[in-house]
Amino acid sequence: MKRALYDELLKWKSKEDRKPLIIRGVRQCGKTHIIKEFAAENYDDSVYLDFDKDRSLCKIFDGDLEPEKVRSSISIRLMKDITEKTLMIFDEVQSCPRALMSLKYFCDLAPQYHIICAGSLLGIQTPRGRPGPSPDISSEPAGKGTSFPVGKVSFLDLYPMSFREFLAADGNARLCDHIDELKKGEKIDESVMDILEKEYRTFCCVGGMPEAVQKWIDTKNMIETERIQREIMDAYRLDILKHVPDAEIKKVNMIWEYLPAQLCKGNKRFFFGHAVPGSRSKDLEDAVQWLMDAGMVHKVRLITKPSIPLSAYASANIFKLYMSDVGLFRTSAGVSADSIMSGGTVKDDFEGGMTENFVLCELISAGHGDLFYWESENTAEVDFVCSIKGKAVPIEVKSGTRVRAASLAQYILQYEPSDAVVISKKNFKEGPAAHVPLYAVWKMDEWIDP
C-alpha cells in the first residue's frame, strides 16, 4: 500500500545535510511497515532494533555514545555488518532514552550513517517520574543522564491512511489520477461520482488503519475488518493502562469512550462535565492532553476572531475533540457498517459527526494540523477554519448534497473572506464559497487563490 510519506523519505535520503529521522504517529498507523519497506527498496541492508519488545537492546547505549562504538555494538549484537549503505532502524525509540540521545552524536560526528526512528508515544513519556503527561520532548530531559537531541534530528508525521491512499490501495488508482489531474474550475467526471460515493462510505467503515485496510482488501469481509479494529482499540486501552499515571487512568478511559457520543450530538463541543460527570476543565486537562500526545485524538479550538495567526485568537478551554481515525470512530459508536455502506437510514447527528471526523482526518493528512472552528454568540458555527496560503479560510462540512450553509453565509457577511469552502457530496464548483467534494479534500488547497 503506497503511502504519501514514502516520497518524503526519498527526499530525506538524498539530502546532503541529512540528519537522523524520527517518524511520529499514533500506534499502528503503519510507521514500522513503511520504514521496513523503504529500507528493502532503497538500501543494501538494514538493521532493526525494537526497544519496546527487547529492552535488553538498551544496554548497547549504556556506555560511551561515540557513533563508531554504538555502530560496532549494534553490529556485534545483531551479527550484521553496518556500512554507510545500511539503514539503522530504531523502533519505539522512546523506550530507550539514551538511544534518542545518541542521535545527537550521529548527527554531529557520523552523518554518513542513515538512521530512521519510529515512536508511537514520544509525546507521553513522563521524565523524572512526574505525574501526568510530559511537556514537549524537544525541550525537556528524556530521563536521568539523558537529553533530547534538540536540532539534531528531523521529523516526519505519519497518520492513518487518507481516503486517497485507501482508493489507490483498493484498486482505484485511476480514479486518484483523474482527480489529481483536474485543474481549478474542472469537475470530476459525473460517471464516477457514484463509485466515489460507494468508496467513501466503505472508507468511513474501514477507516485508515493499515492493518484494517489490508484485511478489507484481502477479504472484503467487514466482520474480519472490525475484528482488527477492535484489536487496535484494545491495544490503545492497554497503552492507557501501561503509560497513564494511576490517578488519571479512569479519566482518560472515560474521555476516550465518550468521544463518539459527543460527536453524534448537534453541539459537538467537548464538555468536561459530560465526559466525566462532576468534573471541571482543570480536573481533566491532563487526561485530554495525554490522548492528544498519544495521537489518539485531535483538538479543534474555538476562535473568536478569524485573523492570522489563528492561534492568537483561540480559546484555551472551548474546543471539539475528534478521533484520529474515522473507522475507529464508527466502530466505537456501535453503528453497523451495513447501514452506512448500503446508504440506508443513519441518524443525521451520527452522519454529521462521522462526516466531520472524516474531513478533519483528511485535512490533517493534507498538512493542516492546526485547525480551529468559529462560533457567533452560539447562533452560528463554521466547522473548521484553517490557515491556507497565509489566509484564514472557513470550511463548512455537509454530509449530503444539500449545501445551504447559513453559518458560513453569516461568517462571510461579517468578515468578507477572500476564500471560503463548502465540503459536501456535490462536485467541484467555483463561487463565493468554493464547493469541494468529500471525495477530493486533498485537492482543496488548489481552489484557494494565492
pLDDT, tens digit, for every residue of 303-344? 989 999 999 999 988 999 999 999 999 999 999 999 898 876
Q: In percent, how much of the chain has pLDDT > 90?
A: 76
Check residue 369 and give its pLDDT.
85
In angstroms, the CA 52 to CA 75 distance is: 19
CATH topology for the 5-157 domain: Rossmann fold (3.40.50)
What is the average per-residue pLDDT within 56-85? 96
Q: What strand order describes the sheet that includes 21-24? A: 45-50, 86-91, 114-119, 21-24, 154-157
> What global pTM score does this model have?
0.91
Q: Is the peptide bond before 309 cis (omega within 30 degrees of 0)?
A: yes
Q: Please give the mean pLDDT across all residues of the chain.
A: 90
Domain ranges of the chain: 5-157, 229-447
3 state DSSP class of 423: strand
Whether residue 133 is predicted with pLDDT greater than 60 in this model: the reply is no
pLDDT at residue 307 in the model = 94
Distance CA 30, CA 92 (A): 13
Residues 436, 444 contacting (CB under 8 angstroms): yes
Helix axes 193-206, 222-243, angle to 10 degrees: 40
Average pLDDT over every residue of 134-144: 35
